[in-house]
Amino acid sequence: MTLRVLLVEDDRELCRTLKDAMTAEGYDVFTAASLSEAFALLTGLGARSANGAPVDMVLLDLGLPDGDGEQLLAALRQKHTVPLVVISARESDGQKVRLLDAGADDYLVKPFSIRELLARMRVGLRHRGTSVSPAVTRYGVGALNIDLGTHEVTLAGQPVHLTPTEFNLLARLVRSAGQVVTHRQLLADVWGAEFTEHTHYLRLYMAQLRAKLEDNPADPQLLMNEPGVGYRIVEPQG
């Protein structure tokens, strides 16, 4: 079955380019140039779809002629868990973090390459797929293997000892592998809601994790930092 993508973007040139690129990759693309058009399309598609989800993926621009894309995100998140990637020219990190916290799966700042967009879409789609099927419990990349069920972490076959906090932090990242998890989300999920401002905790524990898992902690290949936004563990292989 072809995956359906809703592209909400008011710039006609960019819209056509993206549509062509995605169509070439085999997606079924619907485009909307305004908020109202996007709402209408979602309603129409939702009525026709078998499982209630109007589309399989939403790409959302923020500055639209009749409102802000954030409104669509808020409305969509009340009903659906459909993956949503924000594409915007606004490079404010406060906004980036706010949108991610509000339920956006990813955020791409214009200009971006098609390759990067397609990669982010794949990550978003994979996560929605796994959230329906049993939760991911095993993660492997390079010589590293993590089993969330048994709390076992091995590096090149050797067990790695992690403290409970280190393991919780790693597990939280693994559950969103390939996606940025904001500082606030990590602090709230691992330490508790009252620690959301304590970013220095994160720095310390991320440094400890890197020291145990990375070859060169200053040149990480596994635990990536998105300055001012959050952390991301690279996508698993295979």
Partner 1 sequence: MIPLPGIDASADSWPAHLRRAGRALREAARSGTVAPMTDDEPNSPRRMARWPWAWAGLVWAAAWLLMLGLDRHIGLAQAAITLVLASALAAIWLPLVSSLLTTTAAVLAFDWFIVPPKHSFSIELSEDVLLVIEILVLSWVVTALLARGRVLAARARRSARHADQMRRLGDALRDAEDPLQRGEALRAALSDLLGQPARLLVLRNAAALPENDAASTTLGDPAPDELVGLWHCVRLCRAFGPGTGHEPELPALYLPLRGTDTEAFGAALIPLEANAPHEDDVLVQAQALCDQLGQLLHRARTQRQAESAHALAQSQAVRNALLAAISHDYRTPLAAILGAASSLKDQGAKLAPEQRERLTQSIMAETRQLSRLTDNTLQLVRLDAPGVKLNLDWESPDELAGAAIERARRHDPERRLKVWAEPGLPLVRCDAVLFSQMLENLIDNALKYSDAPAPVELHVRRHGGHIVFAVRDSGPGVEPAWREKIFDVFQRGDWRTGTHNSAAQRGAGVGLAVCRAIARAHGGELQLRPRSQGGSSFECWLREEAAPGVDDRVPAPGGQERP
Strand partners, 182: 230
Residue 222 CB, nearest approach to partner 1 (Å): 11
- How many chain residues interact with partner 1 (CB under 8 A)? 34
Q: Is 158 helix (H, G, I), strand (E, B) or coil?
A: strand
148: left (phi over 0), alpha (psi -120 to 50) or beta: alpha
Beginning with the edge strand found earlier in the chain, give each strand of the sheet holding 181-182 in spatial order: 181-182, 230-233, 223-226
Show the site string, 142-181: x = touches partner 1 by CB under 8 A, - = not.
------x---------------xx--x--x----------
Q: How far apart are CA 221 and CA 230, in angstroms?
A: 16
Residue 178 CB, nearest approach to partner 1 (Å): 14
Choice from 12, 16, 79, 203 touching partner 1 (CB under 8 A) = 203
195 is an interface residue for partner 1 by CB under 8 A? yes
Site for partner 1 in 101-140 (CB under 8 A): 111, 113, 135
E strand segments, the chain = 4-8, 28-32, 57-61, 63-64, 67-68, 84-88, 106-109, 138-141, 144-147, 152-155, 158-159, 181-182, 223-226, 230-233
> Apex CA 58: angle with CA 56 and CA 64, to 5°?
155
Residue 223 CB, nearest approach to partner 1 (Å): 9
224 is an interface residue for partner 1 by CB under 8 A? yes
Smaller CB distance to partner 1: residue 125 or 180?
Answer: 180
Show the site string, 76-105: x = touches partner 1 by CB under 8 A, - = not.
---------------x-xx-----------
- Give me the residues that bind partner 1 (CB under 8 A), please: 91, 93-94, 111, 113, 135, 148, 164-165, 168, 171, 189-192, 195, 199-201, 203-204, 206-207, 210, 216-220, 224-228
